[in-house]
Amino acid sequence: MRQIVLDTETTGLSPQNGDRIIEIGCVELVGRKLTGNNLHFYLNPERDSHEDALRVHGISNAFLKDKPKFAAVAQELLAYLKDAELIIHNAPFDMGFLNKELELMGRAPLKGWVGKVTDTLMMAKEAFPGKRNSLDALCDRLEVDNSGRTLHGALLDAELLADVYINLTRGQNSLVMDEGAQTQQGESLPVIDLRGFTLPVLQADAQALSEHEKTLDSIDKSSKGKTVWRIVETVFEKQPETSI
């Protein structure tokens, strides 16, 4: 499934009170890698941003006056998002604004267009209970470089969140472009049948086993003792010994 990391900037905090979207940033992942097929819009919200919101995103009302309205880009956005998994930090906020914009057009909610929605804020709260889990805090904790983020911006934040998501799900350390199985001259690389190779099995040494146990202990602590392996260990330890 395609994954789209999505972020929005808005005129304020409440779509129900008339606040609107002013920026949408989307970053595409396929096979957990950046494809470069991103989507980005600045939008005319037909109203001014609240002062507090303006301090956050720094996008002036004058800059947005000649930008398209949401209705003008809605079809392109929906086609881009169709059947994908959306990855959003604090998903109810962004989904609430997007659904309100669709409602104003007489369109169905976004949930009917996409495959699923994953909230990285909820993931972070489970992984790091009791800690700050803002995007900046997660970038610091997961060693994602956010030095270029002085103000909020939808596309930049989506790019940072993509890297945060990969780290949260214990995938590759950084995101790279998938160049495909071709040479620089455009020639296809030969397909190698790996069934003809015998791969050696390397046993873990004492240090590797110790590091493995530390990682399991860390995960168990984060989940408040709910990891399956610890529960199974406890069950087996409590079972009485039997003789045959």
153/207 same-domain check: no
Looking at 153, 168, 183, the residue that finishes a domain is 168
Q: Identify the domain containing residue 121 by its residue range.
A: 3-168
Q: Is 152 a catalytic residue?
A: yes
Q: Which of 120, 151, 168 is the last residue in one of the domains?
A: 168
For residue 129, give the CATH number of its domain.
3.30.420.10
pLDDT at 218: 83
What pLDDT score was predicted for residue 125? 96
**Do 161 and 206 sit in the same domain of this protein?**
no
Q: Are residues 159 and 114 in the same domain?
A: yes
Q: Name the catalytic one among 40, 57, 89, 152.
A: 152
At residue 244, the pLDDT reads 44
Residue 119 within any structural domain of the chain? yes
For the chain (244 residues), the mean pLDDT of every run of 10, in chain order, is 95 96 97 95 97 92 97 98 98 98 97 96 95 95 85 90 92 50 55 66 84 85 76 64 50
> Same domain, yes or no, for 33 and 153?
yes
Tell whether 52 and 157 lie within a shared domain.
yes
Amino acid at 237: E
157 shares a domain with 69:
yes
